[in-house]
Amino acid sequence: MNLPPDIKQFAQRSRGDAGGGMIDPFGRRVSYLRVSVTDRCDFRCVYCMSENMTFLPKRDILSLEELDRLCSAFIRKGVRKLRITGGEPLVRRNIMSLFSALSRHLETGALEELTLTTNGSQLHKYADQLAACGVKRINVSIDTLDADTFARITRWGALDRVLTGLRAAVAAGLRVKINTVALKGVNEHEIEDIMRWAHGEGHDLTLIETMPLGEIDGERTDQYLPLSTVRRRLERNWTLEESDHRTGGPARYVRVRETGGRLGFITPLTHNFCESCNRVRLTCTGTLYMCLGQEDAADLRAPLRSSESDERLDAAIDEAISRKPRGHDFIIERGNENPAVARHMSVTGG
Ligand code: SAM
Ligand code: SF4
Average pLDDT over every residue of 30-49? 96
Q: Could you identify the atom of ligand 2 that is nearest to the CA of residue 181?
A: 5
E strand or H helix at 234: helix 227-237
Alpha carbons 16 and 13: distance in angstroms, whole number: 5
159 CA to middle of ligand 2, Å? Answer: 14
Q: Which listed ligand is nearest to 210 at the C-alpha?
A: 1
Q: Could you identify the atom of ligand 1 that is nearest to the CA of residue 86?
A: 7
Spell out the SS3 assignment of 149-172. HHHHHHCCCCHHHHHHHHHHHHHC
At 221, which amino acid appears? T
Helix, strand, coil distribution of the chain in percent, nearest 5: 35, 20, 45
Q: Please tell me if the CB atom of residue 81 comes closer than 6 angstroms to any atom of ligand 2.
A: no
Question: pLDDT of 312-340, one tens digit each?
Answer: 999 999 999 999 988 876 555 545 555 56
The pLDDT mean for the chain works out to: 88
Q: Is the pLDDT score of 176 beyond 50?
A: yes
Burial class (CB in 10 A: 0-12, 13-18, 19+), 106: middle
Q: Which listed ligand is nearest to 37 at the C-alpha?
A: 1
Domain borders along the chain are: 5-176+275-348
Fold of 5-176+275-348: TIM Barrel (3.20.20)
Contact assessment for residue 277 and residue 28, using Cβ atoms and an 8 Å cutoff: yes
E strand or H helix at 208: strand 204-208
Write the CB contacts of 20 (distance below 8 Å, at least 6 apart in sequence): none
Average pLDDT over every residue of 24-46? 95
6 CA to middle of ligand 1, Å? Answer: 38
Q: Is the pLDDT score of 341 beyond 90?
A: no
Q: Please tell me if the CB atom of residue 86 comes closer than 6 angstroms to any atom of ligand 2.
A: yes
Q: Please tell me if the CB atom of residue 88 comes closer than 6 angstroms to any atom of ligand 1.
A: yes
Alpha carbons 85 and 93: distance in angstroms, whole number: 14
Best of 91, 123, 181 for a ligand 1 pocket test (most atoms within 8 Å of beta carbon): 181
Percentage of residues in the chain having pLDDT higher than 90? 71
147 CA to middle of ligand 1, Å? Answer: 19
Q: Report pLDDT for 340.
A: 60
Q: Could you identify the atom of ligand 1 that is nearest to the CA of residue 211?
A: 24
Question: pLDDT of 205-248, one tens digit each?
Answer: 999 988 876 777 776 767 889 999 999 999 999 999 988 877 65
DSSP 25-87: TTS-EE-EEEEE--S--S---TTT--SSPPPPPGGGSPPHHHHHHHHHHHHHTT--EEEEESS
Backbone φ, ψ for residue 208 (5° rounding):
-125, 140
